[in-house]
C-alpha cells in the first residue's frame, strides 16, 4: 500500500511545475508528444543534413580504421609517445571521452533520484552519448597495448595457459573493472529505458519490416500495470546503483595518476576534481549535441530554454570546482615547499607547454564566468561555441596534467619533449568520427527523447485534473487513499 | 476489455472492478501509474530483495576473486606486505557489487515480467495498438470466478469507457 502522503507529494510536484514552467512547451498531449518524437524515427524521409553530417562522420571513421590498421601493422611507434612521456594522447583521449560520458549518467541517474523533471527530455540521448563515449574511450588503452588480442591476460582475470593473473593492487586493473562495469551498466540502463518506446514504435510503424525489428527489440512489452510496477522499481534501483558507480569511475580513473609518486599527479584532490571535470565536460558535450538536435528536428518544445539554462548552470558550478582544483594544485605546490612540486608548477606556467596551461585557465576558469549572465545563457549560437571551447579546455587540462608531469620529472638528464604525430591526431579525429557516426545512426533509428517519460509530464497524465471527470470516481479514489 | 482515454478513468474503473469483486484483471497504460498498484491491489515486487542478493554475491565474488588471485593463484610478495591487502581490493569489490546488482535488476525485472514474450492475446484487439500512445485499458479475464460474459460486459460498459471489446485467446 502506498503511504498516505503520496497524493500530497504529487501535488507538491505539480505546484513546483507550475512555478517553474517550460520543461515542455504548453499545449502538448500524449498523442502530440508521441507523434513528434516518433516521427523523427518513423518518417521515410531522411533530411539532407543528416546525410551530410553522417558523411563527414563516416569519413572520420575511415580515418580511424586507417590509423588502427597502421597501428596494428607497424606498432605503437607510429605515435609520438616515448620515454619519458610514455602516456600521451592515448590516456588524454581516454580520460576525455570517459569524462564526457559522465554527464549522461548524471542526467539519467542522479537527476532521477533528485526528481528533477527537466532531465526527462535530455536523458535518452545523453545516455546514448555516454555509451558511445565509453566505446571511444575504451579503444585508447586497448590499442595502447599494441597487440590487444595478446593483452587480454593483463586486463581480465581468466585462467590463461601461462598461469599469469592480473595484479589486483594496481589502479590500472581497477580501471578495467570500473570502465567495463560502467559500460555494461550504462548499456543496461539505456536499453531498459528504451523498451516502452520501442513498443510505441512497434505499434506505430507502418512498414512490416520496421514493425518486426522494433517488435523484437520491444520484447513484447504491453504496458501491463504489474510490469510497470516492476519496471519502475528496476529503473529506480538502476539509477540508485549508477549514482555511486559514476562517481567511482572517474575517481578510479584519477587513481591511475594519484596513486603514482609523480609531482602533479600525486594529489588527494584528484578524485573529486576529476569527477567535477568529467561532469563539466560532459554537460558541454550534451549542449554541443542538444543545440543542433533541437534546431534541426524542431524539438524546441521538448528541449526548452529551461534545459539550456540548467545545463549552463551545472557547467558553471562544476567548472568553478575545476577552477578550484587548479588553484588548489598551485597552492599546494607552493605550500608543500617540495622542490619537485614547486618546479612542476613553475614548469606548467612558464615551460614549453605554458601556452596550453594558460589557454585552459582562460577557458575553464575565466571564460565560464560568462555563464553568470542571463543574456549569455539566452544566446544559443554563442552557447554552442562556448560549449565547444569547454570541450577543448577540458582536453587541454588532461594534456597538461599528463604531459607536463611526465616530460620533466625528478632527473633533468631524462627530460624530453613530447610531440604528437599525425597518427595521434588521426586516431583522435577518428574516434570523434566514430562517436558522431554512432550518434547520427542513433537519432535516425531510435527515439532521441524518451517518449514514455515525456508522456508522464504532459498535463493529461495528471490523475486528478480539476473538473474533467465524471463525479462518480471521486469518492472511491479519495476513500482508497485514506 | 474496456478502453479509457485518461489515466484517471482507468484508475477509477480498476477500483470499481475490484470493489465489484473481480480479482483476475490487468490494466494496460502508456505511462506508469502508481495509483494502479493500489487500485488493482498489486503486491510489492520482490525485485529489491533479488537486487540485494545480486549485489552481495557480486561483492563476495569480487573480493573473493581478488584475494584468490593474489594469495593462491599468483602470490606475489611485495616487500613482505600481506598477500590479502584488502584495502586495495576495495575498488574492484565495489565495481563487482555494482555489476552484480545491476545485472540482477535488469535481468530480474524481465524474468519476473516473463518478457520477452512474443505472443499475448491482448494484441489481438485492434484498438490496443493505442495502448502505447494515449489509451488506457482494463482487462477482466475469463478465468475470474465472478466472470460472466454478459454481466461483465455490462459492468464494463457502466464504467464510462470509450469502448468495450472481447479479447480473442
Q: What was the pLDDT predicted at A151?
A: 79
Q: A264 near A329, Cβ under 8 Å?
A: yes
Quick check: B48 contacting A, CB < 8 Å? yes
- In A, minimum Cα distance to B129 occurs at A203
pLDDT at A2: 41
Looking at residue A184, its pLDDT comes to 95
CA–CA separation, A135 vs B43, rounded Å? 40
Nearest to B141, CA basis, from A250, A176, A224, A413: A224
Taking only the tens place, the pLDDT of each residue in A369-420 is: 999 999 999 899 999 999 999 999 999 999 999 999 999 988 899 899 999 9
User: Which chain B residue shows the shortest CA-CA distance from A241?
Assistant: B98
Say if residue B79 is preceded by a cis peptide, omega within 30 of 0: no
DSSP A85: B
What is the C-alpha separation between B104 and B109, in angstroms, rounded? Answer: 8
Banded pLDDT at A13 (limits 50, 70, 90):
low
Q: To 10 degrees, the CA torsion angle through A322, A323, A325, A330?
A: 150
Residue A455: CB atoms within 10 A of its CB come to: 29
Give percent of chain A with pLDDT exceeding 70: 91
Whole-number pLDDT of residue A464: 62
State the pLDDT at residue A469: 41
Q: Helix (H, G, I), strand (E, B), or coil: what is residue A124?
A: helix
Supply the pLDDT for residue A44. Answer: 82
pLDDT score of A382:
94
Cis ω before B116 (30° cut-off from 0):
yes
Between CA A389 and CA B18 the distance in angstroms is 59
Of A174, A237, A455, the CB nearest to B30: A455
**pLDDT tens digits, A48-64:** 889 999 999 999 999 99
Shortest CA distance to A67 belongs to which of A435, A429, A436, A432?
A429
Note the pLDDT of residue A156. 87
Q: Quote the pLDDT of residue A475.
A: 36
Taking a contact as any Cβ pair under 8 Å apart, which residues of chain B between 73 and 92 contact chain A?
73-74, 76, 78, 85, 88-89, 91-92
pLDDT digits (tens, 9 = 90+) for A86-98: 888 999 999 999 9
Query: CB contact, 8 Å: B53 with chain A?
Result: no
ipTM: 0.92
Q: Are B101 and B60 in contact (CB under 8 A)?
A: no
Who has greater pLDDT, A324 or A151? A324
- Give B-chain residues touching A168 at CB under 8 angstroms: 66, 69-70, 88-89, 92
Mean residue pLDDT of chain A comes to 87
**pLDDT of A287 strictly over 80:** yes
Residue A59 to residue A429: CA distance in whole angstroms: 10
In this prediction, residues A431-451 reach a mean pLDDT of 93
Record: contact A229-B32, CB cut-off 8 A: yes
Domain ranges of chain B: 2-44+120-164, 47-112
Residues A214-236: tens digit of each pLDDT: 999 999 999 899 999 999 999 99
Verify whether the Cβ–Cβ distance A228 to B36 is below 8 Å: yes
Cβ proximity of A89 and A237 under 8 Å: no
DSSP-assigned letters across all residues of A179-221:
HHHHHHHHHHHHHHHHHHHHHHHHHH--SHHHHHHHHHHTTT-
Least confident of A84-98, A105-119, A355-369, B74-88: A105-119
Residues 150-169 of B with CB under 8 A from A: 160
Q: How far apart are CA A458 and CA A120, in angstroms?
A: 12
Q: What are the tens digits of pLDDT across the range A239-270?
A: 999 999 999 999 999 999 999 989 889 988 99
pLDDT bracket for residue A15 (50, 70, 90): low
Q: Where are the beta strands (DSSP E) in B13-59?
A: 25-28
Q: What's the rounded mean pLDDT across residues A123-141?
A: 93
Averaged pLDDT for residues A133-153: 89
Q: Tally A–B CB contacts below 8 A.
A: 229
Say how far apart CA B94 and CA B52 lie, in whole Å. Answer: 14
Q: Are B70 and A469 inside 8 Å of each other by CB?
A: no
- Which chain B residue lies closest to A231 (C-alpha atoms)? B109
Predicted pLDDT at B163: 85
Residue A467 has pLDDT above 50, yes or no: no
Find, among B131, B37, B163, B97, the residue nearest to A223 by Cα.
B131
Go through the domains of chain A in sequence order and give each one's CATH number.
37-466 (1.20.1630.10)
Task: Tell me the pLDDT of chain B averaged across its residues.
Answer: 90
Of B30, B33, B99, the CB nearest to A181: B99
pLDDT at A472 over 90: no
By the 8 A CB rule, do A118 and A450 touch?
no
Cβ contact, residue pair B98, A244, below 8 Å: yes
The model's confidence at residue A9, banded by pLDDT at 50, 70 and 90, is low
Q: Check residue B23 and give its pLDDT.
A: 85
- Look at residue A296 and tell me whether its pLDDT is greater than 70: yes
Question: Inter-chain contact B98–A456, Cβ cutoff 8 Å?
Answer: no
Does residue A290 contact residue A303 with C-beta atoms inside 8 Å?
yes
Pick from A174, A452, A463: CB nearest B92: A174
Question: What is the dihedral sign for C-alpha A242, A244, A250, A253?
Answer: negative
pLDDT of B153 higher than 70: yes
The pLDDT assigned to A18 comes to: 54
DSSP state of B66: H
Chain A positions touching B134 (Cβ under 8 A) are 29-31, 34, 455, 460
Which residues on chain A are in Cβ contact (under 8 Å) with B91?
171, 174, 177-178, 248, 252, 255
Joined together, the cell numbers standing for residue B33 give 501509474
Strand, helix or coil at B15?
helix
pLDDT at A21: 45
Output the pTM of the full model. Answer: 0.89
Q: Spell A123-149 as b/e; 16+ CB within 10 A means b.
A: bbbbbbbbbbbbbbbbbbbbbbeeebe
Please tell me the least confidently modeled range out of A139-143, A147-151, A386-390.
A147-151
Q: If you average pLDDT over residues A134-153, what whole number do you get?
A: 89
Q: B159 is written with which cell numbers?
A: 464504467
- Pick the most confident of A81-85, A148-152, A461-465: A81-85
Look at the block and give the residue holding cell 501509474. Answer: B33
Q: Report, as an integer, the average pLDDT of A70-89.
A: 91
* Residues whose CB falls within 8 Å of the CB of residue A418, separated by 6 or more in sequence, listed in order: A80, A81, A85, A88, A403, A406, A407
Tell me the nearest-neighbour CA distance from A388 into chain B, angstroms. 32
Amino acid at each position: 500500500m502506498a503511504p498516505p502522503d503520496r497524493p500530497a507529494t504529487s501535488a507538491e510536484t505539480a505546484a513546483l511545475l507550475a512555478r517553474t514552467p517550460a520543461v515542455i512547451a504548453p499545449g502538448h498531449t500524449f498523442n502530440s508528444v508521441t507523434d513528434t518524437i516518433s516521427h523523427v524515427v518513423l518518417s521515410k524521409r531522411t533530411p539532407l543534413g543528416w546525410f551530410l553530417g553522417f558523411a563527414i562522420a563516416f569519413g572520420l571513421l575511415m580515418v580511424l580504421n586507417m590509423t588502427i590498421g597502421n597501428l596494428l601493422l607497424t606498432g605503437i611507434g607510429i605515435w609520438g609517445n616515448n620515454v619519458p612521456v610514455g602516456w600521451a594522447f592515448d590516456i588524454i583521449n581516454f580520460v576525455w571521452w570517459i569524462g564526457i560520458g559522465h554527464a549522461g549518467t548524471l542526467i539519467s541517474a542522479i537527476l532521477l533520484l533528485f526528481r528533477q523533471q527537466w532531465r526527462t527530455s535530455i536523458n535518452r540521448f545523453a545516455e546514448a552519448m555516454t555509451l558511445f563515449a565509453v566505446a571511444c574511450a575504451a579503444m585508447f588503452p586497448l590499442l595502447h597495448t599494441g597487440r590487444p588480442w595478446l593483452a587480454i591476460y593483463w586486463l581480465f582475470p581468466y585462467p590463461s595457459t601461462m598461469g599469469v593473473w592480473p595484479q589486483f593492487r594496481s589502479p590500472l586493473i581497477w580501471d578495467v573493472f570500473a570502465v567495463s562495469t560502467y559500460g555494461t551498466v550504462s548499456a543496461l540502463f539505456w536499453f531498459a529505458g528504451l523498451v516502452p518506446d520501442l513498443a510505441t514504435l512497434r505499434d506505430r510503424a507502418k512498414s512490416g519490416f520496421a514493425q518486426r525489428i522494433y517488435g523484437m527489440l520491444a520484447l513484447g512489452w504491453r504496458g501491463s500495470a504489474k510490469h510497470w510496477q516492476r519496471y519502475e522499481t528496476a529503473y529506480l534501483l538502476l539509477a540508485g546503483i549508477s549514482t555511486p558507480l559514476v562517481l567511482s569511475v572517474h575517481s578510479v580513473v584519477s587513481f591511475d595518476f594519484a596513486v603514482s609518486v609523480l609531482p602533479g599527479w600525486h594529489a588527494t584532490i584528484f578524485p573529486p576534481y576529476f569527477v567535477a571535470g568529467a561532469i563539466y565536460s560532459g554537460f558541454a558535450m550534451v549542449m554541443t549535441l542538444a543545440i543542433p538536435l533541437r534546431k534541426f528536428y524542431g524539438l524546441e518544445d521538448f528541449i526548452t530554454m529551461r534545459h539550456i539554462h540548467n545545463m549552463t548552470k551545472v557547467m558553471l558550478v562544476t567548472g568553478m570546482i575545476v577552477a578550484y582544483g587548479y588553484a588548489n594544485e598551485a597552492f599546494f605546490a607552493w605550500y608543500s615547499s617540495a622542490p619537485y612540486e614547486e618546479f612542476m608548477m613553475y614548469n606548467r606556467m612558464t615551460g614549453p607547454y605554458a601556452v596550453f596551461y594558460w589557454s585552459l585557465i582562460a577557458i575553464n576558469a575565466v571564460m565560464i564566468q560568462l555563464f553568470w549572465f542571463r543574456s549569455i545563457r539566452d544566446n544559443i549560437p554563442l552557447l554552442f561555441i562556448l560549449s565547444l571551447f569547454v570541450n577543448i579546455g577540458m582536453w587541454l587540462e588532461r594534456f597538461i596534467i599528463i604531459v607536463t608531469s611526465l616530460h620533466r620529472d625528478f632527473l633533468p638528464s631524462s627530460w624530453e619533449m613530447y610531440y604528437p604525430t599525425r597518427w595521434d591526431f588521426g586516431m583522435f579525429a577518428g574516434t570523434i568520427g566514430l562517436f558522431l557516426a554512432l550518434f547520427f545512426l542513433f537519432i535516425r533509428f531510435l527515439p532521441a527523447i524518451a517518449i514514455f517519460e515525456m508522456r508522464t509530464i504532459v498535463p493529461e497524465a495528471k490523475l486528478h485534473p480539476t473538473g474533467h471527470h465524471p463525479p462518480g470516481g471521486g469518492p472511491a479514489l479519495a476513500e482508497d487513499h485514506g | 476489455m474496456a478502453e479509457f482515454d485518461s489515466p484517471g478513468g482507468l484508475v477509477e474503473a480498476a477500483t470499481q472492478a475490484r470493489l465489484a469483486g473481480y480479482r483476475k484483471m490487468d490494466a494496460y497504460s502508456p505511462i506508469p501509474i502508481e495509483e494502479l498498484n493500489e487500485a488493482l491491489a498489486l503486491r510489492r515486487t520482490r525485485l529489491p530483495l533479488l537486487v540485494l542478493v545480486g549485489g552481495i554475491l557480486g561483492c563476495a565474488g569480487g573480493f573473493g576473486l581478488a584475494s584468490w588471485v593474489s594469495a593462491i593463484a599468483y602470490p606475489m610478495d611485495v616487500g613482505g606486505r600481506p598477500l590479502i591487502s584488502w584495502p586495495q581490493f576495495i575498488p574492484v569489490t565495489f565495481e563487482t557489487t555494482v555489476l552484480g546488482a545491476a545485472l540482477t535488476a535488469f535481468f530480474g525485472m524481465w524474468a519476473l515480467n516473463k518478457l520477452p514474450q512474443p505472443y499475448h492475446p491482448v494484441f489481438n484487439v485492434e484498438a490496443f495498438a493505442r495502448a502505447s500512445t494515449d489509451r488506457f485499458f482494463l482487462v477482466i479475464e475469463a478465468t475470474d470466478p465472478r466472470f460472466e460474459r454478459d454481466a461483465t460486459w455490462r459492468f464494463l460498459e457502466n464504467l464510462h469507457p470509450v469502448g468495450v471489446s472481447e479479447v480473442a485467446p
